[in-house]
Chain A
Amino acid sequence: MDTPTLTAFILYLVILMSIGTFFYLRTRNLSDYILGGRGLNPWVTALSAGASDMSGWLLLGLPGAMYAGGMNNIWIAVGLSLGAYLNWQFVAKRLRNYTEKANDAITLPDYLENRFNDTTRVLRVISAVVILVFFTIYVSSGLVGGAILFEKTFGMNYQVALWVGALVIMLYTFLGGFMAVSLTDFIQGTLMFIALLVVPFIVVQVVGNWEAAVAKVGRIDSSHLDAFSGMTVLGIVSLMAWGLGYFGQPHILARFMAVRSSQDVPKAQMVGMTWMVLGLFGAMFTGFFGIAYFANAPLENSETVFIALTQALFNPWIAGVLLAAILAAIMSTVDSQLLVCSSAIAEDFYKQILRRDAPQQELVWIGRIAVIVLALLAASLASDPESKVLDLVAYAWGGFGAAFGPVVILSLFWRRMTRNGTLVGMVVGALTVIVWKNLSGGIFEVYEILPGFILCAVCALAGLALVFSVTGKILQ
């Protein structure tokens, strides 16, 4: 095991744990734990939305896909950038204002229930179920990423690496709650950003210059320079459809709800989009120039290209810090997701169904216990060493995008939307993703988010909304 790399890692973890402990001592109620009492400044909002969005996928999955296939993977990045932009532009400010007016809603299920004045709690419970199902898959993708990192960096056995990573993440989400998660996300977002700019820059220097590096990739396989290689129109649409997912990701929407004031949104948007676009470019070119760097000794697992480049190009101290960025990316996503799950259990099940008059301290503890149980469940799902980060992320991302995306947009912009339309749309969207994912060949090769999103929107908009025409409470 490499001592400087390990030392850099441990130092990094000590800093995170200190932040977690600091906020542990200051957490007094569930709103503090889940939303930090709506006190995020625009910089923290932007970077924590970005860091909790861009999991290990940004440092492992995307560079891996570029390394394996070249330029025809740019479509995911283009689709995501457009989706994130539209989400900031049209959803962030309204959601911030609506959730505060909707009886100070602090979670997505909370918001939906208040928005439609649903006294039956069906909307809340169904949306919490969707959250728990897809976040368990999402968290397991993060744990797979962590396991790959510890396995490749420290030569650990996959199973040991998996449980070490799970333990670290659980511990500090358990301690700190939202403020700790958002602040550490900010630190982690900064670290990821630096790593993603430095690594491709150094690779280009080592290979020669920009033109030489591109030419070398072209000589290895000219199709790597072609964004349309092996792509059909449906394939391109399918990859760009990743962008639709943004409107329904509860852990990203939670950042919008927590921003200090809706006036801070444009600044947060500017910071967030710059961070994201530069980060995506960095990730893509890390994988792309990795093709040139490893021309003579191709990597066995394409998703390790960032790790392999870091280890090959930097001295072990700097490599330790850069590799900690992967851990940062994974942890910053998993912690936010665990936190949303813990709120779903504490706020949406326990408080609403089991004990309506539960004191705040009890709810905070229920939330903490939920973090542990869910992380254990996700770790057991991730225990197959053949698991791929990208596949698991795609499934969960699609599930949320299809179940919540159209519902969130319509509930913010369409006055006449009804509770039943929302309910049916959400269920149909989630089920379409699950069914579509398990079918293959022909039309079923299309990314499941696309049919799920469309069907959810149609159900919420059309017939079913009319059949049960109970107009919800309208908030302006």
Chain B
Amino acid sequence: MSLSRRDFLKLGSATAAGVAVAGKGVDLAPVEAAATSLKIKEAKAFRSVCPYCAVGCGQLIYTKDDKIIDIEGDPDTPHTLGRLCPKGAATIQLSNNPLRPTKALYRAPGSDKWEEKPLDWMYDQIAMRYHAAREQYFIEKEKDKEGRVVTVNRLEAIASLGSACADNEECYLLSKLNRTFGIVYHEHQARV
């Protein structure tokens, strides 16, 4: 949000004045409207859900030119009524954050640095590792405890963790990939 210091002070004093006289029955709506219009003027609003704890506070995300400019609580949400905690109120910095890597990175064996790589290269390399591990370590059949041969189609050389921060659809897709590929070390942080 781009607010000059002058705008900010103007807004602050307007709000303070509004609050000071509110007890005498003055309508606060113009002050609220002024505050709101500053934030979302010409912005597009999207419905969202807080990605932190599992209360699932409804959020409204405002964007301009495909860039998030503000995230606030959605007052329509029946179980949270528009409120957010300090973490929820900081959600915007998950997106707008200079520490966030925006390129795929590779670290070679024994190396002390990351190298930027094209996504395509990364997918191919990762797929080759998955494929090689499956080809080398796949267990197709083994004996059960009574000595009968059973088809087990299991791959124990690859483990997969995560995630409770992935969406339901993503969790399902990962379950589908892991289970159809034969992976049994398959977990997320439910217990952690």
A binds B: no
Q: Which residues of A contact B (CB under 8 A)?
A: none
Q: Which residues of B contact A (CB under 8 A)?
A: none
